[in-house]
Amino acid sequence: MAEMAKVAVLTEPRTFEYHEVAIPEIGPDDGILRVEAAGLCGTDWEQYLGHLDNTPWAVRPIIPGHEILGWIDKVGPEAAKRWDVKEGDRVTVEASIPCGQCFQCQVGRPVLCKNGMGYGLRMGFNNAPHLWGGYATHMYLHPGATLHKAPSDVPTDIMSLFNPMSNAVRWAVERPETGIGDTIVIEGPGQRGLLAVVAAREAGAGQIIVTGTKNDTLRLSLARELGADETIVVDDEDPVERVTEITGGKLADIVVDVSSFATKPITDAIEMVRPGGKVVVAGLKSFAPIPNFVSDKLITKEISMLGVLSSSWSSVEKSIDIIRRKGDTLKKLCTHHYPVDQADKAVRVLGREVIDGPEAVHVHIDAASTT
Ligand SMILES: [Zn+2]
Ligand SMILES: [Zn+2]
């Protein structure tokens, strides 16, 4: 009898079913991952609520989990050569499965590939061999999957930060070209905001300022521990006034919005960035329009607004390198983990709908543990 994988399947908004699925035989060009961890982010929460229903990620039933860490369980000889891996290697798997041929793949943005394949968000559970997501003990490695080697000696919870860290590298450093001495404001102290502090420090940023709400007490103290110079509680203080004060009127070179739902950080960013500065837009607003958005301000201040989705090959590699060197300092971000059959609770803890001990920062499915 075939070995079975345990999986969590999102069938409807807010509805998980737990199943066992036969692990498929592989050929020369594919493989099987033994999942170690699947990190959760705001996208998992929106997917769970059904908020992605008018987007390409509206697939159900689906095994969620797009921030995937694991070990090579089985690999065909051709795939082993191409990925340069062997059984037992620890790897991270990128969410998208790019075609390699289309315009976006050719210009180096495989994340925007039109082929509609990808783990945890795009490939539904009904597509054989079914194992297309990280909320599972095993996952199918398609010949087109993109893998990165991970160090074997970093603990699971810290290594599972590789995806938010790679986002932080791309959003706070690569895309706005953050350099030595730059003043950067990070709006929203979620896991990506906190890791953006680490990434910006690595890049040589000067002043790092993080904004949050009064519900973010733990997160803002973590921001300071990780290297933020100043934190602003936006319920108590006007963030634009504070940034003006802190920078002596120069304003910020770069503002990165990683807050979800709230739209005011976008209009605040336009006020707190200096003329000629850059605003990186990364926090999803459930497709809501931005009240009081005045595009003329972009013109008169010559502000660049940069929308960012996901990571790049290089940002994942840099992320793994930062975690290898600085992992110990990131331990406090890893607040919660749950086995596959508690996926529902994991997502609700991430969404702060369920409180389970400390304030949730980074939540992951620990696929190697069982209840
Ligand atoms: Zn994610
Ligand atoms: Zn493509």
Task: Count other C-beta atoms under 10 Å from residue 307's C-beta.
Answer: 9
Task: Count other C-beta atoms under 10 Å from residue 201's C-beta.
Answer: 18
Quote the ligand 2 centre to 23 CA distance (angstroms): 27
Quote the ligand 1 centre to 238 CA distance (angstroms): 30
Mean per-residue pLDDT of the chain: 95
108 band by pLDDT with thresholds 50, 70 and 90: confident
DSSP structure class, residue 162: H
Quote the ligand 1 centre to 311 CA distance (angstroms): 10
User: Which residue's entry shows tokens 């095993």?
Assistant: 138
Quote the ligand 2 centre to 146 CA distance (angstroms): 13
Asked if residue 38 has pLDDT above 70, the reply is yes
- Which residue, 57, 26, 20, 9, is CA-closest to 142? 26
Quote the ligand 1 centre to 95 CA distance (angstroms): 9
Q: Residue 231's pLDDT is what?
A: 98
- Least confident range from 48-57, 124-133, 230-239, 323-332: namely 48-57
Is the pTM higher than 0.75? yes
110 band by pLDDT with thresholds 50, 70 and 90: confident
For the segment 257-262, the average pLDDT, to the nearest whole number, is 92
For the segment 238-243, the average pLDDT, to the nearest whole number, is 98
Residues in the chain: 371
Q: Residue 260's pLDDT is what?
A: 86
Quote the ligand 2 centre to 99 CA distance (angstroms): 4
Quote the ligand 2 centre to 65 CA distance (angstroms): 21
Q: Which ligand is nearest to the CA of 166?
A: 1
Q: Which ligand is nearest to the CA of 120?
A: 1
Q: Residue 112's pLDDT is what?
A: 86
Quote the ligand 2 centre to 102 CA distance (angstroms): 4
359 band by pLDDT with thresholds 50, 70 and 90: confident
Q: Burial, 158: exposed, middle or buried (Cβ in 10 Å; 0-12, 13-18, 19+)?
A: buried
370 band by pLDDT with thresholds 50, 70 and 90: low
For the segment 183-207, the average pLDDT, to the nearest whole number, is 97
For the segment 226-232, the average pLDDT, to the nearest whole number, is 97
Map out the domains of the chain as residue ranges.
Answer: 4-162+312-366, 176-307
Q: Residue 1's pLDDT is what?
A: 66
Fold of 176-307: Rossmann fold (3.40.50)
Q: DSSP string spanning 163-207?
A: HHHHHHHIIIIITTT--TT--EEEE--SHHHHHHHHHHHHTT-S-
Asked if residue 51 has pLDDT above 60, the reply is yes
| Pairwise pLDDT comparison (99 vs 16), residue with the higher score | 16
* CB contact at 8 A, 64 and 124: no
Quote the ligand 2 centre to 257 CA distance (angstroms): 28
Quote the ligand 2 centre to 112 CA distance (angstroms): 7
Quote the ligand 2 centre to 97 CA distance (angstroms): 8
Handedness of CA 118, 124, 125, 130 (dihedral sign): negative
- Which residue, 134, 110, 176, is CA-closest to 316? 110
Asked if residue 371 has pLDDT above 60, the reply is no
DSSP structure class, residue 94: -
* CB contact at 8 A, 73 and 79: no
Rounded CA separation 187/193 (Å) = 7
Asked if residue 87 has pLDDT above 80, the reply is yes
Question: Which residues lie near ion ligand 2 (Cβ < 5 Å)?
Answer: 98-99, 102, 105, 113
For the segment 28-37, the average pLDDT, to the nearest whole number, is 98
Q: Which ligand is nearest to the CA of 192?
A: 1
Q: Residue 56's pLDDT is what?
A: 84
Strands 208-212 and 184-187: parallel
Quote the ligand 2 centre to 165 CA distance (angstroms): 24
Rounded CA separation 127/252 (Å) = 48
- DSSP-derived 3-state class of residue 35: strand
Alpha helices in the chain (DSSP H): 42-49, 77-83, 103-106, 156-159, 162-169, 191-202, 217-225, 239-246, 264-272, 296-300, 313-326, 343-350
For the segment 343-362, the average pLDDT, to the nearest whole number, is 95
Reported as a single tens digit per residue, the pLDDT across 123-167 is 999 999 999 999 999 999 999 999 999 999 999 999 999 999 999
Q: DSSP string spanning 115-134?
A: T--BTTTTS-TTSTT---SS
Superfamily, domain 4-162+312-366: Medium-chain alcohol dehydrogenases, catalytic domain (3.90.180.10)
For the segment 334-357, the average pLDDT, to the nearest whole number, is 96
